Amino acid sequence: MAAVSAPSIPTGPDGGGAPDETELRSAGVVELAAALAAGRTTSVALLECHLAATDRLDPLIGAYLRRFDDEARAAAERLDAERRAGDVRSILHGIPIGMKDILATDEGPTTAQSLALDPAWGDGGDGPVVARLRAAGAIICGKTSTMEFAIGFPDPRLHRRDTSEAEAHKPFPLPRNPWDLGCWTGGSSSGTAAGVAAGLFPAGIGTDTAGSVRLPAGYCGVTGHKPTFGLVPKNGCVPLGLTYDHIGPLARTARDCAALLEVMAGPDPGDPTSVAGPAGGFLDGIDAGLAGVRIGVARSATVGDGTASPAVAACFEQAVADLRAAGAEVVDVTFPLWGELLEGCFSGLFAEAFAWHRPMLAERWADYGVDTRRGIAQGALISAADYVQIQRVREVGRQRIAELFGEVDLIATPTTGTTALRYDSAGGDREVRLRTLYTPPYNSLGLPAIALPMGLADGLPASLQLAGRWFEDALVLRAGAAYQDATTWHRMRPPTW
| 188: annotated active-site residue | yes
Residue 337 touching another protein (CB under 8 A): yes
Selected binder of another protein within 51, 76, 130, 393 (CB under 8 A):
393
Which of 359, 384, 406, 426 touches another protein (CB under 8 A)? Answer: 359
Give the nearer residue to another protein in terms of CB position, either 96 or 230. 230
Minimum separation from the CB atom of position 142 to another protein (A): 33
Cα radius of gyration (the chain): 21
CA dist 344 and 201 (Å) reads 35
Give least dist CB 344 to another protein, A: 6
Pair type for strands 139-144 and 64-67: antiparallel
- Taking the complex as a whole, how short is the minimal distance between the CB of residue 230 and another protein, in angstroms? 5
Closest to another protein by CB, 359 or 406: 359
Give yes or no: 5 in active site: no
Interaction between residue 229 and another protein (CB under 8 A): yes
What is the phi-psi region of residue 229: left when phi exceeds 0, alpha when psi lies from -120 to 50, beta otherwise? beta
Q: Applying CB under 8 A, which part among 13-21, 88-96, 255-263, 359-367 lies near another protein?
A: 359-367
Query: Would you give the DSSP letter of residue 130?
Result: H
Site string for another protein, 372-391 (x = CB under 8 A): -xx--xx-xxx---x-xxxx
Size of the site for another protein (CB under 8 A): 41
| Neighbour tally for 182: CB within 10 Å | 13
Q: Footprint of another protein on residues 403-432 (CB under 8 A)?
A: 431
Q: Taking CB under 8 A as the criterion, which residues in 236-275 touch another protein?
A: 243, 273, 275
DSSP 407-459: T-SEEEEESBSS-PPBTTS----HHHHHTTB--HHHHHHT--EEEEEEEEETT
- Compute the least distance from the CB of residue 378 to another protein, in Å: 5
Q: Which of 78, 358, 422, 493 is the binder for another protein (CB under 8 A)?
A: 358
Residues 162-181, interacting with another protein (CB under 8 A)? none
Catalytic one among 212, 274, 309, 444? 212
Q: Binding of another protein at residue 346 (CB under 8 A)? A: yes
253 near 30, Cβ under 8 Å? yes
Nearer to another protein, 227 or 494 (CB): 227
CA gap 321, 340 in Å, rounded: 29
223-226, strands of its sheet edge to edge: 64-67, 139-144, 96-100, 203-207, 247-251, 223-226, 449-457, 460-468, 410-414, 294-297, 329-332
Within positions 446 to 465, which residues make up the interface with another protein, using CB under 8 A? 446
Residue 361 binds another protein (CB under 8 A): yes
Between residues 162 and 386, which has the closer beta carbon with respect to another protein? 386
Does 365 bind another protein (CB under 8 A)? Our answer is yes
- Measured from the CB atom, is 168 or 385 closer to another protein? 385
Q: Around Cβ 132, how many Cβ atoms within 10 Å?
A: 22
* Alpha helix ranges (H) inside 155-274: 190-197, 214-220, 254-264
**Binding-site member from 87, 395, 407, 458 for another protein (CB under 8 A):** 395
User: Which 273-332 positions form the footprint of another protein (CB under 8 A)?
Assistant: 273, 275
Name beta bridge partners: 96.
Answer: 139
The nearest distance, CB 481 to another protein, in angstroms, is: 27
> Pairing relation of β-strands 172-173 and 64-67?
unpaired
Helix residue ranges, H only, 62-164:
69-84, 128-135
Query: Which of 90, 100, 114, 347 is labelled catalytic?
Result: 100
Nearer to another protein, 52 or 381 (CB): 381
Q: Is 115 in the site for another protein (CB under 8 A)?
A: no
- Kindly state the smallest distance separating residue 272's Cβ from another protein, in Å: 10
List C-alpha distances in Å: 220 to 186, 199, 306, 315, 407. Answer: 8, 12, 23, 15, 33
Which residues contact residue 20 at a Cβ distance below 8 angstroms, ignoring those fewer than 6 apart?
Answer: 12, 13
User: Would you call 193 helix, strand, or coil by DSSP?
Assistant: helix
Kindly provide the residue ranges of all beta strands, DSSP E only, lying in 266-352, ordered along the sequence. Answer: 294-297, 329-332
Q: For residues 479 and 56, give the distance between their C-alpha atoms in angstroms, rounded to a whole number.
A: 36
Residue 100 is among the residues annotated as catalytic for this protein: yes
Catalytic residues: 100, 188, 212
Residues of this chain that bind another protein (CB under 8 A)? 229-230, 243, 273, 275, 337, 339-340, 343-344, 346-347, 354, 358-359, 361-362, 365, 370, 373-374, 377-378, 380-382, 386, 388-396, 398-400, 431, 446
